[in-house]
Amino acid sequence: MKQKLIALINFGLKPETPPEIAEQTRLLNGISLLGVPVCLPYILLFSITCNYTLSFAFFIGLIIFSIPLLLNKWFGVITARVFISIMSSAFFGSISVLAGKDAGFYLGFLVIAVPPVFLFPSLRTGLIFVGFSILCLLASIYGNMIYSSPYAIPFPMSMIIYLINLFTVLLATLGVVFIFKSELSESRAILEEKNKEITDSIRYAKRIQQLLLPPDRYIEKNMDRLKNKKKD
């Protein structure tokens, strides 16, 4: 299971991929994959309760969170991170309006709003997508104020869904932290290995130099001999 997860997180990476791009790709794949187990239970739950509109909406969400893996492979991390940053915010905004404010799907913004800061090399670009996520959240709140969805989840089911969402957000947050920590640990290990290789190369070169050059005593002896010749 662990090997399969690692293979999915590394999906789309090539041997020639630069380390910084590889790191962003793994982070993006890991964050995207977190959305899959979030969507699957809701597809099943809303199918059982005959709320097929919400079930279909989460099926669309499942596709949205799966597409970045393919985008990473075909077009690269630049396209994939823009896609997931926009579509995940649009998805949770739409779900929040469809299911109604009492279901608490807007809590998903607590998880999806922060990753763009880490996915984009420029902090300014990352903050732009964070701002877009906040706008989607505000739009969903306003949408719930002016629109009464016919697919809204009634009480007390909405309270149960709210508690499930709260628990899901906590797990997803821990998952994101775990992915970041794992990626940082791997990057640190790679950096330490490269530093060791550089240090070993320097030591090896120094040994070769010491073998090729004559001893210090020999050099000093010949320097003294040259000085004495000049004096004579």
Enumerate residue ranges in the chain where pLDDT < 70.
Answer: 1-9, 12, 173, 175-197, 200, 204-232
pLDDT of amino acid 69: 83
Give the span between the Cα atoms of 99 and 89, in whole angstroms.
15
In terms of pTM, does the model score above 0.85? Answer: no
By three-state DSSP, how is residue 98 classified? helix
Is it true that the peptide bond before 68 is cis, omega within 30 degrees of 0?
no
Residue type (1 letter), 62: L
Residues 6 or more apart whose Cβ sits within 8 Å of residue 59: 39, 43
pLDDT tens string 150-208: 888 888 888 888 888 888 877 776 766 666 666 555 555 555 666 666 776 777 666 66
Residue tagged 């010491």 (tokens): 210
Give the span between the Cα atoms of 153 and 158, in whole angstroms.
5
User: How is residue 10 written in tokens?
Assistant: 């590394």
- 149 φ, ψ to 5°? -70, 130
User: How is residue 209 written in tokens?
Assistant: 């130099």
CA-CA-CA-CA torsion sign (165, 66, 9, 188) = negative
Domain chopping of the chain, boundaries? 2-191, 193-231
Give the span between the Cα atoms of 40 and 18, in whole angstroms.
34
Give the span between the Cα atoms of 31 and 155, in whole angstroms.
32
pLDDT of amino acid 180: 60
Give the span between the Cα atoms of 25 and 14, in whole angstroms.
11
Is it true that the peptide bond before 18 is cis, omega within 30 degrees of 0?
no
Cα atoms in the Cβ-side hemisphere of radius 13 Å centred on 230: 6
Query: Do 113 and 140 meet the contact criterion of CB atoms below 8 Å apart?
Result: no
Give the span between the Cα atoms of 231 and 225, in whole angstroms.
10
Query: Do 144 and 100 meet the contact criterion of CB atoms below 8 Å apart?
Result: yes
Query: Do 12 and 73 meet the contact criterion of CB atoms below 8 Å apart?
Result: yes
